[in-house]
Amino acid sequence: MIKNRFFLISSAILFCLSVVIYFIIPNERKLQPSTTVMNFPVQDHNGTFILGSIGAVVFIGCLILLASGLEKYRVRSVIGVMVVFAFLPGMLMTAYQETFASGVKAVSYDQEGECYFETVEEDVLKGECSFVLHNRSNEEVTFEVEFMDSFYFLENNHRMVSLMNLAGPYKFTMEANEKRSIHMTELLDVSDIPNPTDSGSSSGIQLKLIQSNGVQVHL
């Protein structure tokens, strides 16, 4: 089954390196890509992302060495590694948040938040947003929530979800290990906002959590 042990060891090393690279990529670059390769963001509204490109190359090298090092079951093994890599970072992040992380870095978000907007009168929108946050640490944490527009809206110089910030700041305090479902409804004055949406909805909304000491996380 094993054709070249050196290739397999090298593949394992590159796999670990690709996981490390994925972890050190800032969340905002993972959430706002226009192009991804093997889950690595390689391009966004700022242009080519070098670290993400390196990570993609390293992971592809891992797969090539894996296939080259095996005599049989090459396709199955490559697919298996790709599946593992798809889930492993999330599992490791959860473990990190529950053990070593503190403050907003220990707060997770399931990426399933939604926002709805409708015009109620001229230059006034009604915005409704719902999302779930989970403080995985054993300490209370206080932070502000800021709403972020997706890459599509940034690229087209158009605002939608970020309009909710007009009624902010939104400050929350979460108890240790608390999981909270948050729903908010606001009337938004968009008279001074260029290119606001007039109605619509957005799912998988992106959030920024900000602590008073300046620590921020993009979710």
User: What number of CA atoms fall less than 13 Å from residue 39's CA on the CB side?
Assistant: 18
pLDDT band per the 50, 70, 90 thresholds, residue 34: low
Assigned token pair, 112? 């399933």
- Tell me which amino acid residue 50 is: I
User: Whole-angstrom Cα distance, residue 129 to residue 183?
Assistant: 6
Residue 217: predicted pLDDT: 79
Assigned token pair, 66? 């894996």
Residue 157: predicted pLDDT: 65
Beta partners for 172? Answer: 143
Ranges 80-84, 98-102, 129-133, 186-190: which has the least confidence: 98-102
Residue 11: predicted pLDDT: 87
SS3 assignment for 133-147: EEECCCCCEEEEEEE
Residue 94: predicted pLDDT: 74
Residue 75: predicted pLDDT: 82
96 vs 55: which has the higher pLDDT: 55
The DSSP element (H or E) to which 50 belongs, if any, is helix 50-69
User: Whole-angstrom Cα distance, residue 64 to residue 107?
Assistant: 36
Q: At what angle do helices 5-24 and 50-69 cross, to 10 degrees?
A: 160
Closest CA to 149 of 134, 172, 132, 166: 166
Percent of the chain's residues with pLDDT above 70 = 90
CB 176 within 8 A of CB 135: yes
Q: 99-154, pLDDT tens digit by residue?
A: 777 788 888 888 888 888 888 888 788 889 999 998 888 888 889 988 887 765 65
* Distance set, CA 128 to CA 40, 42, 202 (Å): 32, 33, 10
117 vs 3: which has the higher pLDDT: 117
Closest CA to 213 of 126, 63, 102: 102
Residue 45: predicted pLDDT: 66
Average pLDDT, the chain: 81
Mean pLDDT of 5-14: 86
Phi, psi of 124 (to 5 degrees): -130, 125
* Distance set, CA 44 to CA 41, 120, 160, 165, 176 (Å): 7, 34, 19, 23, 35
Q: 156-185, pLDDT tens digit by residue?
A: 667 788 888 888 788 988 898 888 998 988
Closest CA to 218 of 7, 31, 10: 31
